[in-house]
Amino acid sequence: MFKPLLRSLVFIIIATSLFAQEQYHYQTDFPPEEFAARRAQVYEKIGNQALAIIQGAPGVDGFKIFRQSNEFYYLCGLETSHAYLLLDGRSRKATLYLPHRDEGRERGEGKVLCAEDVELVKKLTGVDAVHGVELMPRHWIWSGLVRLPAPTIYTPFSPSETEADSRDESLSGQASISSDPWDGRPSREGHFIHLLRTRYPQFEIRDLSPILDAMRTIKSAREIALIRRASQIAGFALMEAMRSTKPGVFEYQLDAAARYVFQVNGARREGYPSITAGGTNAWMGHYFHNDAVLKDGDLVLMDYAPDYRYYTTDITRMWPVNGKFTPVQRELYGFIIAYRNAVLKYIRPGVSAAQVMDEAAADVEKVLSATKFSKPHYEKACRDALKFRGHLSHPVGMGVHDVGDYKAGVLQPGMVFSIDPMIWVNEEKWYVRMEEVVVVTATGVENFTDFMPTTMEEIEQTMKEEGVVQLRPATTMK
């Protein structure tokens, strides 16, 4: 009796293991038709005598979890490292070049879509062909060099974005490497361009980044839904941080409260490192140490959002550590709320970002004239804010500082960006701001976090509730 039962259990375990190994991971947010439509835009932009080649992200070291680069994911959704996507403008066909199956790795990590999964990959992504990565040069020779004239090659020149990355930060990091006399490595994109030019001098190499940037400026309905959900999660997270704030709590404990909300709501990564800054720490725009104790009487600024299925947001609130705004804090934060409301009022399609700023500033001027400030330099800081043009801030999407430019023309439905009214009180190293992420709609604007506490009364009321840091405080051992 025992041996047949044991054999049955062994069979079940083996069968379950084999079934688990056959499972593959592929995104479910976009159908192949949406990726095909994006690739069709690329064909139109590069013309019928050009190719476009997009590198996927490299593999990761150690126990890190792989995340695909934004540009590659945007065009096919595939999360396989060291992959290449070839878009042929002459035939208007897409080919994926993938590494071959690594059975040892799959036993430890699960199935990875590879060159052997031809029909499955074609079905999931909508591409026309799938080959091993080693065949890419041979195919280029026959299609590009034997059949003259040689086509133009488009590839991204700008740094790719992966986890918690934005292009501006990547460019800054590459500049630091380039200026180090003991380093000086080129970017991965720069090295790839060098290889193309060295191995195939017949090809003219052009930058694909501006084309993809322009495409990503207008978000699809499915993209907007993901950004909306990322914003909701970020809003819930900041509200939990508000509840958990008390004098004596560490900045990083508010991070923990927020990240808990990210994780339980399905956002496994962060869109960017947390900025949680008490008191004058908020004066530093990208403060990241987050190791100070929160003090009674101070404000704390929190700017934090998740990476939710390759899309993020950018939300900021400030609140009093002790749960009650002082009269002086009310003066300045009240001005910020008024500015935020004015900007939201005037965002609509068909007008420029500059026009929105002018109309909002005119409204806020009336508020400013009717406000009695306790110190002259508070009024000066607010008047200086009327001249500042950065309150309509940056695009948001796959990157927190996303690519594209919504300020060059008029606002269009599908543009997503942050509004970020802020003031600097130089005399006291006091920085005050609030940030929302919005999408331009056919009739106006949608604020993704209009459910969040915004007024000072709403914030104070939220802070009366018990937070997760108090429910499960830090433990010590004697």
Q: Model confidence over 76-131: pLDDT tens digits?
A: 999 999 999 999 999 999 999 999 999 988 888 889 999 999 999 999 999 999 99
Predicted confidence at residue 10, as pLDDT, reads: 40
- Give the integer Cα–Cα distance in Å for 211 and 151: 18
Q: Which of 267, 230, 294 is nearest to 469 (CA)?
A: 294
User: What residue type is assigned to position 394 of the chain?
Assistant: H
Q: Model confidence over 49-85: pLDDT tens digits?
A: 999 999 999 998 878 889 999 999 999 999 999 999 9
219 neighbors 397 (Cβ within 8 angstroms)? yes
84 neighbors 78 (Cβ within 8 angstroms)? no
Predicted confidence at residue 315, as pLDDT, reads: 97
Predicted confidence at residue 17, as pLDDT, reads: 40
- Ramachandran class of 409: left when φ > 0, alpha when ψ lies in -120 to 50, beta otherwise: beta
Find all residues with CB under 8 Å of 68, minimum gap 6, and list them: 56, 57, 78, 79, 80, 81, 162, 310
User: What residue type is assigned to position 100 of the chain?
Assistant: H
Per the document, the length of the chain is: 478
Q: Which of 424, 431, 427, 405 is nearest to 416 (CA)?
A: 405
Which segments of the chain have a pLDDT < 50?
A: 1-2, 4-21
Predicted confidence at residue 200, as pLDDT, reads: 87
Bridge pairing between strands 316-320 and 299-303: antiparallel
Report the interhelical angle of 221-244 vs 251-264 (nearest 10°): 140
Tokens of 304: 């934090």
- Give the integer Cα–Cα distance in Å for 225 and 219: 10
441 neighbors 413 (Cβ within 8 angstroms)? yes
299 neighbors 253 (Cβ within 8 angstroms)? no
List, in sequence order, every beta strand (DSSP E) within 342-421: 392-395, 416-419
195 neighbors 53 (Cβ within 8 angstroms)? no
Neighbours of 466 (CB within 10 A): 9
Neighbours of 205 (CB within 10 A): 18
- Give the integer Cα–Cα distance in Å for 91 and 128: 11
Predicted confidence at residue 13, as pLDDT, reads: 41
Predicted confidence at residue 144, as pLDDT, reads: 59
Predicted confidence at residue 145, as pLDDT, reads: 60
Predicted confidence at residue 12, as pLDDT, reads: 39
Buried b / exposed e over 370-404, threshold 16 CB at 10 Å, is eeebeeeebbebbeebbeeeebbbbbbbbbbbbbb
